[in-house]
Structure 1
Amino acid sequence: MTSTSPTVARPCRLPVWPIPLLWTLGLGLWGLSRQHSVWRDEAATWQVAGRSTTEIRHMLGQVDAVHGLYYLLMHGLFELFGPGTTTLRLPSVLAMAVAAACVAVIGRRLAGTWAGLGGGLALGLLPAVQFYLQEGRPYALVAAGAAISTLLLVTVLQGRGGAVRWAAYGGTVLTCGLLNWLSLLMLPAHAATLIWTRAGRRMWTRWAATSASATACVLPLILFSRGQSDQISWIPPLTWHMLIGPVVLLAIGGLGALLDRPRRGRLSAAAVGLPLLAVPQIALIVLSLIKPLFLDRYVLFSLLGLALLIGAGLGAAIRAAAPRFPRASRWILPVVVAVAMVALLPQCLAKRSPASRVDDVLAAAEDVRGLKKTGDGVLFIPAARRDTKLVSPDAFVGVRDIALAESPEESGTLKGIEADPARIRAAILSRRRILLVTDAAKVARPVAAERDRVKTSVLEEYFTVVSDDQVRGRRVTVYERIGP
Structure 2
Amino acid sequence: MWRDESVTYQVAHRSPAEIWALMGNADAVHGLYYFFMHALYSVWEGGLVTLRLPSVLAVAAAAGLVGLTASRVAGRRAGVVSGLVFALTPEVQMYAQEGRSYALVCALVALATYLLTRALTGSSGWRGHAAYGLAVLAAGLLHEFAVLALMAHGVTVRAARTARQVRRSWAVAAGAAAAGTVPLVVFSAGQSGQVSWISGPGLREWLEIAGVAFVAVLCAGYLASGAGAGRQDPGGGAGFVPRLALPLALLPTAVLLLAAVHEPMYVDRYVLFTDVGLSLLVGTALSRVFTRVSALAPLRGRLPRAAAVGTVAIPVLLALTPVMLQMRTPDSRKDDVTAVADEVERLSAPGDGVVFTPSRRREWRLSHPAEYGGLVDLALGTGPRASASLQGEELPAAEIRSRMLAMDRIVVLSDPPGRPEDAVEQEAVKREVLRTRFRACSRAQVKGAQVTLYARPGKCPATP
Task: Answer whether TM exceeds 0.5 for this pair.
Answer: yes
The reply on whether 1:467 has 2:442 as its aligned counterpart is yes
Offset, 1:288: 2.5
Partners of 2:112 and 2:308 in 1: how far apart?
30
Q: Report the counterpart of residue 34 of structure 1 in structure 2.
A: none
Offset, 1:162: 1.4
Partners of 1:317 and 1:332 in 2: how far apart?
12
Partners of 1:338 and 1:157 in 2: how far apart?
36
**Contact 1:270 1:309 survives alignment (8 Å):** yes
Of residues 373, 377, 383, the one that matches 1:397 is 373
* Aligned AA (1:477): T
Gapped regions of structure 2 (runs ≥ 5): 460-464
* Aligned AA (1:92): S
Of residues 320, 327, 344, the one that matches 1:368 is 344
Partners of 1:350 and 1:241 in 2: how far apart?
18
Partners of 1:179 and 1:326 in 2: how far apart?
47
**Contact 2:201 2:266 survives alignment (8 Å):** yes
Point out the more displaced range, 92-101 or 367-376. 367-376
For 1:336-381, what per-residue CA distance to the aligned partner results, in whole angstroms no more than 9, with x for missing partners? 3322111111211111111111111111111112222221111101
Of residues 67, 70, 92, the one that matches 1:104 is 67
Q: Report the counterpart of residue 482 of structure 1 in structure 2.
A: 457
Equivalent residues in 2 for 1:272-421, closer than 5 Å = 272-323=244-295, 324-327=297-300, 328-329=304-305, 331-421=307-397
SS at 2:121's partner residue? helix
Offset, 1:333: 4.0
SS at 1:281's partner residue? helix
Instruction: Tell me the matched-pair count.
Output: 446
**Contact 2:358 2:421 survives alignment (8 Å):** no
Offset, 1:425: 0.5
The reply on whether 1:453 has 2:425 as its aligned counterpart is no
Partners of 1:111 and 1:260 in 2: how far apart?
10
Of residues 186, 209, 215, the one that matches 2:172 is 209
The reply on whether 1:223 has 2:195 as its aligned counterpart is no
**Contact 1:406 1:418 survives alignment (8 Å):** yes
Partners of 1:483 and 1:346 in 2: how far apart?
48
Identity %: 40
The reply on whether 1:50 has 2:13 as its aligned counterpart is yes
* Larger RCO (alpha carbons 8 Å, 6+ apart): 1
Question: 1:334/1:107 Cα in 2 relative to 1: closer, same or farther (>3 Å)?
Answer: farther
The reply on whether 1:436 has 2:412 as its aligned counterpart is yes
Offset, 1:95: 0.5
Partners of 2:202 and 2:442 in 1: how far apart?
41
Partners of 2:217 and 2:448 in 1: how far apart?
39
Gapped regions of structure 1 (runs ≥ 5): 1-37
Q: Report the counterpart of residue 462 of structure 2 in structure 1.
A: none
TM-score normalised according to structure 2 size: 0.92
**Contact 1:114 1:314 survives alignment (8 Å):** no
Q: Report the counterpart of residue 113 of structure 1 in structure 2.
A: 76
Partners of 2:309 and 2:209 in 1: how far apart?
25
Partners of 1:380 and 1:83 in 2: how far apart?
29
Question: 1:380/1:417 Cα in 2 relative to 1: closer, same or farther (>3 Å)?
Answer: same
Question: 1:332/1:311 Cα in 2 relative to 1: closer, same or farther (>3 Å)?
Answer: farther
SS at 1:260's partner residue? helix
Of residues 35, 40, 51, the one that matches 1:88 is 51
